Amino acid sequence: MWVRNAWYVAAWRNELAAGQIMARTIMHEPLVLYRKVNGAVVTLEDRCCHRLAPLSKGRLEQDDLRCMYHGLKFAADGRCIEIPGQPVIPPNAMVRTYPVAESGAWIWVWMGDAAAADPALIPYTTSEDDPDWHIRTGCLDYAANYQLINDNLLDLSHLSYAHEKTLGRGAPAWANQRPRVTRLDRGLRFQRWFTNHRASHYMRAHGEVLELWHSYDFLVPGLFLQRPAWYPLGSAVRANHTEPTEPPIFVRLDDQAVTPVTERTSRYYYAVGLRSRDGSAAMAEEMFRFTETAFHEDKGIIEAQQQVIDLAPERRMMSTSLDAGPTQFRRLVDELIARETARPRHLEGAKQPA
Ligand code: FES
Ligand SMILES: [Fe+2]
């Protein structure tokens, strides 16, 4: 089950060049994306209404897309505007269109009710041309349900174990100490101080041990947005162990998006970076490579977890205090799905059609 009324990341903006036709699948729905002559992105159902061939194997003709099986031509609004050898085009000759937006470094597609598509629900994310940041981007395809990847990002205790030689660097505090979790409108916020954080070599000039203000938001459908910030010793006490107001020494950036492809496959998009005032593009590249090693560690354990789950899908998970994030987020997703599938008020009590 998926929240449909949400913006899903479909691609990096720079992946879709002018004249290119891109196929994507989100939540089992085949999509085709291309740019109009004016650069605006079009997203159509990637399934010709004639014999159901993929339009992504078709041909762009200005702002229109021609199916290259038998030649039906579709306008950017999904209407079929030409059937070879047939002067009359029936009104049902059309494919679905999806609201689409470009924001930050991503192309976002609204998978639900088009009338409910609200661009204000797209959170701020950084783009590669932002002069304040050096960022590097990548993505991984998973053979796992997207919710397992969300769970992983909603509970960073796994850094101490799954990433003990990389991101966790043997720091048990990730698992032993709990973040404060705050409910947001469409997500959760996680915040905590680490007051004895071994500095990585990027920030060693400021001391071997620093304090880390770790704060991130996790938003529907699967957006992980964090700006961890390092501070000199004593900063947590000065901030009364709440959100700091002093300028940090070093800030890193992680914008990530988990997109469900099918029930058992997902795509994980990630941007890793640092403030340009804190270091060079070469440092960002090094940080990216190091982080990507850790992402492969996640992929290894999550895909293995999915295989074990599939052997006995009826087995239930056991919650511990580590799972406040995953549990609350799954509840939020269930609430949003229930709201989407609720029958309109005026139909309550009405007889269901047979
Ligand atoms: S399947 Fe597209 S024109 Fe026939
Ligand atoms: Fe991880």
CB atoms within 10 A of CB 40: 12
- The CA distance from 346 to 343, in Å, is 8
- Contact between 271 and 126 under an 8 Å Cβ cutoff? The reply is yes
- Contact between 67 and 53 under an 8 Å Cβ cutoff? The reply is yes
The string of DSSP letters for 182-208 reads EEETTEEEEEEEEEEEEPPGGGGGG-S
User: Which-ligand-closest: CA of 47?
Assistant: 1
What are residue 274's DSSP bridge partners?
134, 252
- The CA distance from 278 to 205, in Å, is 11
User: Which-ligand-closest: CA of 154?
Assistant: 2
* CB-based contacts of 11, cutoff 8 Å, min separation 6: 22, 24, 33, 106, 107
Taking the centre of ligand 1 as the mean of its atom positions, its distance from the CA of residue 58, in whole angstroms, is 9
User: Which-ligand-closest: CA of 46?
Assistant: 1
Taking the centre of ligand 2 as the mean of its atom positions, its distance from the CA of residue 1, in whole angstroms, is 24
- Ligand 1, atom 1, lies closest to the CA of 51
Residue type, 84: P
Entry pTM: 0.94
* CB-based contacts of 168, cutoff 8 Å, min separation 6: 158, 159, 160, 161, 162, 174
pLDDT, residue 237, reads: 97
Residues 13-28: tens digit of each pLDDT: 999 999 999 999 999 9
Q: Which of 246, 236, 235, 167 is nearest to 200 (CA)?
A: 167
Mutate to test the pocket of ligand 1, among 32, 46, 51, 56 (most ligand atoms within 8 A of CB): 51
CB atoms within 10 A of CB 212: 23
Mutate to test the pocket of ligand 1, among 47, 64, 66, 70 (most ligand atoms within 8 A of CB): 70
- The CA distance from 239 to 9, in Å, is 36
* CB-based contacts of 28, cutoff 8 Å, min separation 6: 262, 263
User: Which-ligand-closest: CA of 49?
Assistant: 1
Give the CA dihedral 41, 44, 47, 53, nearest 10 degrees.
-30
pLDDT at position 353 over 60: no
pLDDT at position 348 over 60: no
Helix (H, G, I), strand (E, B) or coil at 225: strand
Taking the centre of ligand 2 as the mean of its atom positions, its distance from the CA of residue 195, in whole angstroms, is 21
Q: Counting Cβ atoms within 10 Å, is residue 85 exposed (0-12), middle (13-18) or buried (19+)?
A: exposed
CB atoms within 10 A of CB 288: 20
pLDDT, residue 170, reads: 61
Residues 68-87: tens digit of each pLDDT: 999 999 999 999 999 999 99
pLDDT at position 217 over 90: yes
Q: Which of 177, 174, 178 is nearest to 166 (CA)?
A: 174
Taking the centre of ligand 2 as the mean of its atom positions, its distance from the CA of residue 27, in whole angstroms, is 23
Ligand 1: residues with CB < 6 A are 48, 50-51, 53, 67, 69-72
Taking the centre of ligand 1 as the mean of its atom positions, its distance from the CA of residue 110, in whole angstroms, is 26
Taking the centre of ligand 2 as the mean of its atom positions, its distance from the CA of residue 121, in whole angstroms, is 26
Residues 313-334: tens digit of each pLDDT: 999 999 998 999 999 999 999 9
pLDDT at position 352 over 50: no
The ligand 1 atom nearest the CA atom of 71: 3
The ligand 1 atom nearest the CA atom of 70: 3
Residues 113-166: tens digit of each pLDDT: 999 999 999 999 999 899 999 999 999 999 999 999 999 999 999 999 999 988
Tokens 């897309």 map to which residue? 65
pLDDT at position 195 over 60: yes
- Ligand 1, atom 3, lies closest to the CA of 70
Q: Which two tokens stand for residue 103?
A: 């924001």
- Ligand 1, atom 4, lies closest to the CA of 70
Mutate to test the pocket of ligand 1, among 46, 72, 89 (most ligand atoms within 8 A of CB): 72
- The CA distance from 81 to 65, in Å, is 10
Taking the centre of ligand 1 as the mean of its atom positions, its distance from the CA of residue 299, in whole angstroms, is 38
Mutate to test the pocket of ligand 1, among 48, 56, 65, 81 (most ligand atoms within 8 A of CB): 48
Taking the centre of ligand 2 as the mean of its atom positions, its distance from the CA of residue 292, in whole angstroms, is 10
User: Which-ligand-closest: CA of 292?
Assistant: 2
Strands (E), the chain: 7-12, 22-26, 29-35, 41-45, 59-61, 64-66, 73-74, 80-82, 100-103, 106-110, 133-142, 180-184, 187-198, 209-219, 223-226, 229-231, 250-262, 265-275
| Cα atoms in the Cβ-side hemisphere of radius 13 Å centred on 112 | 19
Burial 240-259 (b: 16+ CB within 10 A, else e): eeeebeeebbbbbbbbbbbb
